A and B are shown apart, each in its own frame.
Chain A
Amino acid sequence: MAIFVKGVIFEGVDTTAPDCWHIDAYMARGGYQALKKILDNKMPQEDVIAEVKNSGLRGRGGAGFPTGLKWSFMPRSFPGDKYVVCNTDEGEPGTFKDRDILLYNPHALIEGMIIAGYAMGCKAGYNYIHGEIFEAYELFEAALDEARKAGFLGQNILGTDFSFDLFAHHGYGAYICGEETALLESLEGKKGQPRFKPPFPASFGLYGKPTTINNTESFASVPFIIRDGGQKFLEAGKPNNGGTKLFSISGHVNRPGNYEIPLGTPFATLLEMAGGMKDGKKLKAVIPGGSSAPVLPGEVMMELTMDYDSIAKAGSMLGSGAVIVMNEDVCMVKALERLAYFYHEESCGQCTPCREGTGWLYKVIHRIANGEGREGDLELLESVGNNMAGRTICALADAAVFPVRSFTKHFRHEFEHLIEHKKSLVDHKWC
């Protein structure tokens, strides 16, 4: 896995070295210094949160919500248990960055979670790991053992009165468990289905206690922010888009993989880092933020920089940073059919519009892709999508609708052609 290291999480990590994940290697890179700094200086909790706020760190799981602000929502004087939970249920098609954090630099996450626990007064944390990355789960457990042995986890950490323990939980591969309240349900041993909000996890989370849930990459960025200061993190990116970000590039590029680059880097630069288009084919389309993000035409993407605001302005989302690159050989109807199939499979089935709508969308798109489209199908897709988006407990219905809307908007001619001529405009090849 190619990783271009210039930034925060993978700074100095030699991913080709088999022992790069061990605690010794991590500490040699300056690991656990942030935690020591906090504990040695008895840093006030609000100062830790303020530092994270200053960094401009925005949630790396997809929604991009400011992490420091989220931490400040946790009730300060709550009398009982509070929890910090890491969402490593990385199931978004195209995303594979959190897996590599667990495989190559798990202690950054562990340290980040300990600091989060300190800042929010939590006694315990959980890392919910996606069901299909078992190797990463096992390695993370081993890293947890190292951290416990080194005295960074458990009772009276580094001889202070701060105690915190951290546990890994292995999921079963349901995409919906990446939704934070479904994740909590699953963590509690129930069926993973999103909860109706309010109440939000900050007041009623895991086991009904105040809980903060962050993405793996968000937590893993925290040690840098505390050690080197929020300002330095912010400066690594651009205003309102602080820090570096991991991008998982897949599709028709020469060197797919994870790239940690400053937010605000032009897409063209990122594409170049990934070795450019495979076989010199023409760039046709890019999904810039994981399968739920609206697709953008290649020529639009080439003008954009990789940060939350720039991508949003163009009508898509930076999301989790999964960049799916498609070349001229891709039939966009086929591509959408594959995405629609995914949401059809992964809807949790609880809300009517999503349970029924994802299936309906898929079936219609499947028909079109197989040359059985009918006049009015595109209007039907739009109407069904409108009845789904914003009508459900969680955002999965919206996520299923975004690709449909954007594919049929930017590449409408391909759909129309297929419906009219029962044959694709493109001689489709996946690779």
Chain B
Amino acid sequence: MLEIEIDGKKLTVNQGSTVMDAAHAAGTYIPHFCYHKKLSIAANCRMCLVEVEKAPKPLPACATPVTDGMKVYTASPLAKKAQAGVMEFLLINHPLDCPICDQGGECQLQDLAVGYGNSASRYQEEKRVVVGKDMGPLVSAEEMSRCIHCTRCVRFTEEIGGFQEIGMANRSEFSEIMPFLGKTVDSEISGNVIDLCPVGALTSKPFRYSTRAWELSRRKSVSPHDGLGANLIVQVKQNEVMRVLPLENEAINECWLSDRDRFAYEGLNSAERLQKPMIKFDGKWHETDWQTALEYVVKGLNGVSADHGKDAIGFLLSPHSTTEELYLAQKLARAFGVNNVDAALRRSDTRVAKQQQGALWLGSSIVELAASKSILVVGATQRSEQPLLASRLRQSVKKGSQLNVIHVADDELFTSLNAKLIVAPQQLVNALAQVLKAVVTAKAGETAIDLAAANVSAEAQAIADSLCAADSASIVLGNVAQNHPAFSELLALAQEIARLTGARFGIAAAAANTVGADVAGANPVRGAFGQNVTAGLSAAEMLAAPRKAYVLLNNEVEADSYNGQQAVAAMKQAATVIALTAYKGAGLLDYADVLLPIAPFSETAGSFINMEGKLQSFNGVVRPLGETRPAWKVLRVLGNMLSLNGFEQNSCEEVRAELLALGDIAAQLNNGQSVLAANVAAGNGELVRVGDVPLYHADPICRRADSLQQTAAAAVPQLQLNPADAERLGLQDGQAVTVAQGAAEVSLQLRTDAALAQGAARVAAAHPATVALGGLFEPIQIKRG
């Protein structure tokens, strides 16, 4: 511990602290621009110059290490003169366009200029003009004359984003911040540079010129886009969501947001929003009132129930729905006598629900996962599944953790891997089995799983060694693993490796409320908090053996199912498809016959349980659009109209209280399997589709966010093949090909990519261009042209 005195205030700080750290601890504000607690120290803005006793010159607080007995004066005449001098330099070339600048009112330079600047400028020469840059559809770099060269954006892309997409070119006052020539900034977390920019140089393209910062109210919320549960500040004006900013939560999103979290709000104001209930008759859609629509729904459910029985009805609930909605939906279904309830829409392995003993979750907190010395990620397209988790693991590697990957493609993670096993989807199980086999040998342990078919490769051995040697290790199954037909095997193998090595294991929940769905009972086998229920069919089973009626909550089946082709066919043969939805999507308009407008997360209270099992509640930030109603209200009224008991809740909080009274969430979190699935044989050599979900097609809201849809990540999917497979099929990179699954054929462009495992044919899911295809991890045929 070191003693330091700041402006006469004595305190002790840790060895290695900077003067800035000490000032923070002392509650003393030192003006700064380039310093940011999450970025490396640049010490280039010079705004934080302070006087240090015995130092001949003022020193930058951000970069000066504290020495014992140091005396610092942050506001002495010397310090103030230095700070004022720097402020003058910062302002001489900064345009005086605050009245039209987006940053106006929330600008660090503007704020500090009041405290440290002069009212008039001594600079009488011409001001610098810098030509704007194109950084893509999300980040605007039009007014680079405003840039003060703090290089926070540069350091962010390099240090947090993992790839330096922004740099400072040229020298002297001709220095310019720019992306690579002819390139845009394509990072999945690029929007953070807007928050980091202390001036109005980098601004939000979708938000630009729409309003002034001081006209916005700030409301807390939680991201509905992935299982991380990033905390949001939603900014609202006149009942419209204008933009989304991060709410700092060190345990979850730190101070960052993924671009999906930040820009998907555009989808909330989409023209496709359903504003009135609609019913289809005579093949045409008609707007109607709630009473008529709900009566139609009741009649439909009662009719199918009378004609075909309750088992002919299926509830397909989106895991992006709130816990309260999912709880009420499953309660409604089961009270009505329907057991077919599921929220694991993209899961193909129907055994999992029958074997699980609790809600599948991460197996640890996010912080604990990141702190693990050895991490194995199985079947995850990390940067599109949970962009901020991928970034967090990148930081873990920097801090010395070993990251290991078993996946279908050697995707660029912008970090260094300890070991990787890149195999075709049909080999995933065998690959993980190799690791288990190596672990069994290393630990001289035993397992009930027959590992005869697994031959330990060098990579598997390296992964096993890493897991065995680390004093804390974690195994995480990603989205690809969770949607894979052999998810049971992967879970069983992970469980065994974890048992033998002492590692934690779990799943990285894909959707905002994947864990909440299990807790709330949106599961065919388990009721809320594990209550005993009569087992029903899983989502995959409900679609494979079509029902006569479907109730869809927040679900566009063609994009949100494991097998879109099968799902649409099931919908089309049904007598009634009742959709509770925020959007009148083209698919729903085609196969549904009643659309009930429900509120997205921004217009209703609710809660999500994130991947680490943390329940995060939020309130609606704006009033429901048009005649939209929160889904919990719709379900509650439907319960009344169906004469069911237990639908008397008067608020979302009452629904939540009713659910949470059933038990303790932490006690529900359990990745244990009652049966260890066993087949670890490697699959055959046929081409199997890798249908991972693109970054901006994960849920109905982001699919309608215009700016996100203009990014490179949202482009029409290509067929990606290993060059060896392409050669075997006589196909050339760039040529048009037809891919077929079942009855559907789709024309795509071929891109050969050596990162892809041989035997894997990557055709992204959930995109309009590919939804006609079949199962996400099923065999696929490829033809020329």
Which A residues are within 8 Å of any B CB, using their own CB? 174, 176, 191, 196, 198, 344-353, 355-360, 363-364, 367, 374, 380, 383, 386-388, 390-393
The contact of A349 among B49, B63, B126, B173, by CB within 8 Å, is: B173
User: Could you tell me if A344 and B46 are in contact, using CB atoms closer than 8 angstroms?
Assistant: no
- A368 CB to closest chain B CB, in angstroms? 12
User: Could you tell me if A349 and B65 are in contact, using CB atoms closer than 8 angstroms?
Assistant: no
Surface stretch bound by A, among B81-89, B553-561, B629-637: B81-89
- B70 CB to closest chain A CB, in angstroms? 14
- A351–B57 Cα gap in the complex (Å)? 15
> Known: A198-B65, A352-B149. Is A358-B41 also a contact (CB below 8 A)?
no
- A380–B123 Cα gap in the complex (Å)? 9
B174 within 8 A of A: yes
B250 within 8 A of A: no
User: Could you tell me if B173 and A356 are in contact, using CB atoms closer than 8 angstroms?
Assistant: yes
- B172 CB to closest chain A CB, in angstroms? 4
Chain A residues lying within 8 Å of B125, measured Cβ to Cβ, are: 360, 363-364, 367
User: Could you tell me if B57 and A391 are in contact, using CB atoms closer than 8 angstroms?
Assistant: yes
Chain B residues lying within 8 Å of A352, measured Cβ to Cβ, are: 44-47, 86, 89-90, 148-149
The contact of A353 among B43, B86, B170, by CB within 8 Å, is: B86
- Interface SS of chain B: loop
Nearest to B171 among chain A residues (CB) is A349
- B198 CB to closest chain A CB, in angstroms? 12
Chain A residues lying within 8 Å of B89, measured Cβ to Cβ, are: 352-353, 355-357, 360, 387
> Known: A349-B175, A352-B47, A353-B85. Is A380-B63 also a contact (CB below 8 A)?
no
B37 within 8 A of A: no
User: Could you tell me if B173 and A391 are in contact, using CB atoms closer than 8 angstroms?
Assistant: no
- B99 CB to closest chain A CB, in angstroms? 23
Of the A-B pairs whose beta carbons lie under 8 Å apart in the complex, a sample of 16, sorted by A's number, is: A346-B172, A347-B172, A349-B149, A349-B171, A351-B45, A352-B47, A353-B85, A355-B149, A355-B173, A356-B92, A357-B89, A359-B128, A383-B122, A386-B85, A388-B85, A391-B86
- B277 CB to closest chain A CB, in angstroms? 60
User: Could you tell me if B171 and A347 are in contact, using CB atoms closer than 8 angstroms?
Assistant: yes
Query: Interface 1/0s, chain B 91-135, versus A by CB < 8 A?
Result: 011000000000000000000000000000011111010000000
- A380–B121 Cα gap in the complex (Å)? 12
Query: Interface 1/0s, chain B 66-81, versus A by CB < 8 A?
Result: 0000000000000000
Chain B contact residues (Cβ within 8 angstroms of A): what range?
A: 35 or more
B775 within 8 A of A: no
User: Could you tell me if A191 and B173 are in contact, using CB atoms closer than 8 angstroms?
Assistant: no
The contact of A176 among B57, B170, B171, by CB within 8 Å, is: B171
User: Could you tell me if B173 and A344 are in contact, using CB atoms closer than 8 angstroms?
Assistant: yes
Chain A residues lying within 8 Å of B92, measured Cβ to Cβ, are: 356, 360
User: Could you tell me if A392 and B171 are in contact, using CB atoms closer than 8 angstroms?
Assistant: no
User: A-B pairs with the 4 shortest C-beta distances?
Assistant: A387-B85, A349-B175, A356-B89, A390-B57
> Known: A387-B88, A391-B85. Is A359-B149 also a contact (CB below 8 A)?
no
Chain B residues lying within 8 Å of A174, measured Cβ to Cβ, are: 171
B387 within 8 A of A: no
B58 within 8 A of A: yes
- A121–B175 Cα gap in the complex (Å)? 39
Besides the contacts A355-B172, A391-B82, what 8 more A-B pairs have beta carbons closer than 8 Å? A349-B174, A350-B149, A350-B175, A352-B45, A359-B173, A364-B125, A386-B85, A387-B86
Chain B residues lying within 8 Å of A350, measured Cβ to Cβ, are: 42, 44, 149, 151, 168, 175
> Known: A356-B90, A360-B92. Is A349-B172 also a contact (CB below 8 A)?
yes
- A353–B122 Cα gap in the complex (Å)? 15
- A352–B168 Cα gap in the complex (Å)? 14
Chain B residues lying within 8 Å of A364, measured Cβ to Cβ, are: 125
Q: Which of A356, A358, A391 has the most chain B CB atoms inside 10 A of its CB?
A: A356
Chain B residues lying within 8 Å of A387, measured Cβ to Cβ, are: 82, 85-86, 88-89
The contact of A391 among B46, B63, B123, by CB within 8 Å, is: B46
Within 8 A of A (CB), among B126-174: 126, 128, 148-149, 151, 167-168, 170-174
- A336 CB to closest chain B CB, in angstroms? 17
> Known: A349-B149, A360-B123. Is A393-B173 also a contact (CB below 8 A)?
no
- A296–B149 Cα gap in the complex (Å)? 36
Chain A residues lying within 8 Å of B47, measured Cβ to Cβ, are: 352
Chain B residues lying within 8 Å of A383, measured Cβ to Cβ, are: 122
User: Could you tell me if A345 and B122 are in contact, using CB atoms closer than 8 angstroms?
Assistant: no
Nearest to A374 among chain B residues (CB) is B124
Chain B residues lying within 8 Å of A388, measured Cβ to Cβ, are: 85
- B123 CB to closest chain A CB, in angstroms? 7
- B80 CB to closest chain A CB, in angstroms? 12
Chain A residues lying within 8 Å of B173, measured Cβ to Cβ, are: 344, 347, 349, 355-356, 358-359
- B367 CB to closest chain A CB, in angstroms? 28
Nearest to A198 among chain B residues (CB) is B65
Nearest to B124 among chain A residues (CB) is A374
- A388–B125 Cα gap in the complex (Å)? 18
User: Could you tell me if B58 and A391 are in contact, using CB atoms closer than 8 angstroms?
Assistant: yes
Chain B residues lying within 8 Å of A191, measured Cβ to Cβ, are: 167-168
User: Could you tell me if B63 and A196 are in contact, using CB atoms closer than 8 angstroms?
Assistant: yes
- B487 CB to closest chain A CB, in angstroms? 44
Chain A residues lying within 8 Å of B86, measured Cβ to Cβ, are: 352-353, 387, 391
- A359–B41 Cα gap in the complex (Å)? 25
User: Could you tell me if B172 and A345 are in contact, using CB atoms closer than 8 angstroms?
Assistant: yes
Chain B residues lying within 8 Å of A363, measured Cβ to Cβ, are: 125-126
Chain B residues lying within 8 Å of A348, measured Cβ to Cβ, are: 171-172
- A212–B154 Cα gap in the complex (Å)? 29
- A344–B125 Cα gap in the complex (Å)? 14
Nearest to B94 among chain A residues (CB) is A356
Nearest to B41 among chain A residues (CB) is A196
- A360–B127 Cα gap in the complex (Å)? 10
Nearest to A355 among chain B residues (CB) is B173
- A346–B174 Cα gap in the complex (Å)? 10
Chain A residues lying within 8 Å of B49, measured Cβ to Cβ, are: 391
Chain B residues lying within 8 Å of A357, measured Cβ to Cβ, are: 89
- B81 CB to closest chain A CB, in angstroms? 8
User: Could you tell me if B170 and A196 are in contact, using CB atoms closer than 8 angstroms?
Assistant: no
The contact of A380 among B85, B122, B128, B170, by CB within 8 Å, is: B122
Chain A residues lying within 8 Å of B46, measured Cβ to Cβ, are: 351-353, 391-392
User: Could you tell me if A351 and B82 are in contact, using CB atoms closer than 8 angstroms?
Assistant: no
- A363–B172 Cα gap in the complex (Å)? 14
- B411 CB to closest chain A CB, in angstroms? 26
The contact of B93 among A344, A353, A356, A367, by CB within 8 Å, is: A356
Chain A residues lying within 8 Å of B171, measured Cβ to Cβ, are: 174, 176, 345-349
Nearest to B43 among chain A residues (CB) is A196
- B76 CB to closest chain A CB, in angstroms? 15
- A110 CB to closest chain B CB, in angstroms? 32
- A347–B174 Cα gap in the complex (Å)? 10
- A34 CB to closest chain B CB, in angstroms? 39
Nearest to B58 among chain A residues (CB) is A391
- A28 CB to closest chain B CB, in angstroms? 45
Chain B residues lying within 8 Å of A349, measured Cβ to Cβ, are: 149, 168, 170-175
- A392 CB to closest chain B CB, in angstroms? 7
Nearest to A348 among chain B residues (CB) is B171
Chain A residues lying within 8 Å of B174, measured Cβ to Cβ, are: 349
User: Could you tell me if B44 and A351 are in contact, using CB atoms closer than 8 angstroms?
Assistant: yes
Chain B residues lying within 8 Å of A360, measured Cβ to Cβ, are: 89, 92, 123, 125
Chain B residues lying within 8 Å of A380, measured Cβ to Cβ, are: 122
- A387–B149 Cα gap in the complex (Å)? 18
Chain A residues lying within 8 Å of B41, measured Cβ to Cβ, are: 196
- B40 CB to closest chain A CB, in angstroms? 10
- A162 CB to closest chain B CB, in angstroms? 34
- A356–B125 Cα gap in the complex (Å)? 12
- A341–B170 Cα gap in the complex (Å)? 16
